[in-house]
Structure 1
């Protein structure tokens, strides 16, 4: 059993003893802390919190516990049921709510679930806010409402409203998509994507949709993280169906992987790069991604004479940097598109609509669009250490060793060489250092990563 408490929420495996898994008692405590925090800090003139969930098997149980706890603290609950993470984020704003809770463990396997916590802007809590929720949970400093102060629950469906908001975006060209007469394959891993993606694609005028794993019962048919090794079924479907493009989402639909017409992977790093290429052609402006994302976004941004900025890893860090720099597009290299014209949250619906608009305008195959983007390869490795080793001291030593290069230390240590980079980050949950590296070939990426890993092992002796 596992239970991980962090500034971004609480996640864990279902069941177990108190403090060892995501069980009802820990759920009540953490939701109570969040509700207490919102009550103390909200500046919104309503008493509503939105709750949405993905289709995990444990979702119905978690939903009842969360909704009941919020009512017990005195909040009215707008329960939007089965909904994507971005749908829940959008609903918070549309409801003028104080906040929101998303019940999803994102790409984690079926035995996991989590509470993701939103502010009144439908965005994730920042580090200071998250730490305060953790403090309140530990202190159990919360008071429940009396019988006359209990909250009420309202049931609404925001799927159609979210889809309409996507269709209303200026750069979503529905007429061009209709004219292109696309055939699209989708893999929704038996979660909420199976509800929303067919509706979205129909609204966009896609001529034919080939659905794979679109029953939202939460029994995932493969590892739900949209990585190449998990996507063999849709890759095989592409040629059989004669589809023009394939889209794969994770269980809560904030990450988007694209499949080429020939069944090849477009590459999760390149979802953001391709969409940014389309946005920047029509909207000059800056871009942001995290330090572990591909350099290709920087290259595309500079092609249009704009400025790229790297943020610390984590969606809230990316969105903060986007606001600071006035970015018109940003996100993360895991297939997360953040488009401020819509909202400040990763949104696969927005990504699909913008990519199909791009594809319709370019009048090329998906594989041809991919071939025209800057070509890089990322290697993702790790160094395991003993618990007694001072990881921070090792990172500082690596930073000094490579001080003649461009080094960034806002999140671990990133070394930018002229033609490649290496990013070192310590894990928050285990004694390891994650080593991501990128170069123009996979061999080079693995080699420079291995070089730095050898230095880490040497320092750890």
Structure 2
């Protein structure tokens, strides 16, 4: 079992020993550090933090621990209850709160949970702030409030509806045009909060919804990461229902994948490509994605006269570069759409609404839309790590070995070949090394990945 502490938060498996897993003690300790950090950086007499959670089984337990820890620090809490990551991100500035916490382990299996931390803008903390929180947690430098200064909890269950309204009010979202197309869509909510909010959004856009795994009980019916090997049920159901397409989200609804009308994967990399194609056609500008994302976004951006740039992996890095380059849309190739017109955070609702509006303006199927884009294929692999493996040393060897190629080392090692690329990096959230490749065909991408997996294992002696 595992506990991972990083600048982006704390993530771990439920149960086990303190310090080795995400136990109640660890949840309280880290919530205390976050609350203490906010208090140290504010002159306000009373602070407010927004809290929401996904539907995973451990959610209520972790939620109560974190919420009451903040209360003990004298911080007021606005409790959204069952929610989504982008919903909490939107709520923080609307409530003029000082920060936010989303209790979710995102795409990780049910035994995992995590505390994702936001600043007063509803955006993820930067690396410096995250490091300070880790220092406070390590030192256990907490000063709790006396009985007359405890925080108060206010429940607000309206924010899923508020979030939907915010999305529908975006200038490039046209629910009336979508409704006229009478789309039929299958939704896989992986039995989490996406099973509530995505069907609600679709119905308000006049879409017929077929629900699959939309009961928010936290019992994930398949691995919650929205990859092809986990999505056989929805691929089959889209064809059986003669649906226009399928929608899959992860447990906290910041990753979005589509299934084409023929039951094939649209490709999570192409979620951002399709949404960017639509946005750029209406409002030309620049785009950003991370280094592990498809070249297709670059091609589409340049087609519309914009400039594309790649950041280090991690939402905060994408957002930072988007602000620096005035990008009008960006995100990550894992199906994460960041649209600043709404907010600087990955948001599946925004992605769904933009995609539907784009599709409604075209007289083609989703499969035809996918075929209209530059054709790249990716292979995403990972190697489990042990404490004995020196990943940095491995990456250094690979950098030297391929020194004659176009290499970028701002985040692991990315090697750009003329028609394909490979990106090797340590995960920020799991004890693994990721190997991403992209090539003009799936076979070429797979072969390239297998080659690098073998080379890394040979160097590591595993």
TM norm structure 1: 0.95
Q: Secondary structure at the match of 1:310?
A: strand
Q: Rate the CA distance shift 1:350–1:44 in 2: closer, same or farther, 3 A.
A: farther
Q: CA RMSD in A?
A: 1.8
Match of 1:422 in 2: 422
Q: Rate the CA distance shift 1:46–1:353 in 2: closer, same or farther, 3 A.
A: farther
Which is further off, 405-414 or 394-403?
A: 394-403
Q: Secondary structure at the match of 1:362?
A: coil
Q: What pairs with 1:172-191 in structure 2 (closer than 5 Å)? A: 172-191=173-192
Tell whether 2:71 aligns with 1:71. yes
CA distance in 2, matches of 1:385, 1:29: 27
Match of 2:22 in 1: 22
Gapped runs of 5+ residues in structure 2?
Answer: none
Q: Secondary structure at the match of 1:438?
A: strand
Which is further off, 32-41 or 442-451?
A: 442-451
CA distance in 2, matches of 1:350, 1:308: 21
Q: Secondary structure at the match of 2:265?
A: coil
Match of 1:8 in 2: 8
Structure 1 residue 370, shift from structure 2 partner: 0.4
Structure 1 residue 188, shift from structure 2 partner: 0.4
Residues 210-249 of structure 1: CA distance to partner in whole angstroms, max 9, x if unpaired?
A: 1111111111111111111111111111122221111011
Q: Secondary structure at the match of 1:341?
A: coil
Q: Does the Cα contact within 8 Å between 1:387 and 1:431 map onto a contact in 2?
A: no
Match of 1:363 in 2: 363
Q: Secondary structure at the match of 2:361?
A: helix
Q: Does the Cα contact within 8 Å between 1:182 and 1:244 map onto a contact in 2?
A: yes
Gapped runs of 5+ residues in structure 1?
Answer: none
Match of 1:230 in 2: 230
Q: Secondary structure at the match of 1:102?
A: strand
Q: Does the Cα contact within 8 Å between 2:46 and 2:74 map onto a contact in 1?
A: no
Q: What pairs with 1:146-295 in structure 2 (closer than 5 Å)? A: 146-157=146-157, 158-206=159-207, 208-295=208-295
Q: Does the Cα contact within 8 Å between 2:13 and 2:22 map onto a contact in 1?
A: yes
Structure 1 residue 106, shift from structure 2 partner: 0.8
Q: Does the Cα contact within 8 Å between 1:257 and 1:266 map onto a contact in 2?
A: yes
Q: Rate the CA distance shift 1:98–1:294 in 2: closer, same or farther, 3 A.
A: same
Equivalent pairs counted in the alignment come to 460
Residues 347-391 of structure 1: CA distance to partner in whole angstroms, max 9, x if unpaired?
A: 000000000001001121000000011111112234567755543
Match of 1:401 in 2: 401
Structure 1 residue 460, shift from structure 2 partner: 4.9
Q: Rate the CA distance shift 1:29–1:234 in 2: closer, same or farther, 3 A.
A: same
Q: Does the Cα contact within 8 Å between 1:329 and 1:339 map onto a contact in 2?
A: yes
Q: Secondary structure at the match of 1:449?
A: helix
Q: What pairs with 1:36-115 in structure 2 (closer than 5 Å)? A: 36-42=36-42, 47-115=47-115
Residues 75-115 of structure 1: CA distance to partner in whole angstroms, max 9, x if unpaired?
A: 00000111111000000010010000111111111111111
Q: Secondary structure at the match of 2:154?
A: strand
Q: Does the Cα contact within 8 Å between 1:34 and 1:133 map onto a contact in 2?
A: yes
Structure 1 residue 56, shift from structure 2 partner: 1.1
Structure 1 residue 320, shift from structure 2 partner: 0.7
Structure 1 residue 454, shift from structure 2 partner: 5.1
Match of 2:319 in 1: 319
Structure 1 residue 406, shift from structure 2 partner: 2.0
Q: Rate the CA distance shift 1:20–1:338 in 2: closer, same or farther, 3 A.
A: same
Structure 1 residue 429, shift from structure 2 partner: 7.5
Q: Rate the CA distance shift 1:238–1:460 in 2: closer, same or farther, 3 A.
A: closer
Q: Rate the CA distance shift 1:43–1:272 in 2: closer, same or farther, 3 A.
A: farther
Q: Rate the CA distance shift 1:257–1:7 in 2: closer, same or farther, 3 A.
A: same
Q: Secondary structure at the match of 1:78?
A: strand
Which is further off, 441-450 or 52-61?
A: 441-450
Structure 1 residue 432, shift from structure 2 partner: 5.5
Q: Rate the CA distance shift 1:372–1:217 in 2: closer, same or farther, 3 A.
A: same
Structure 1 residue 392, shift from structure 2 partner: 2.3
Which is further off, 263-272 or 386-395?
A: 386-395
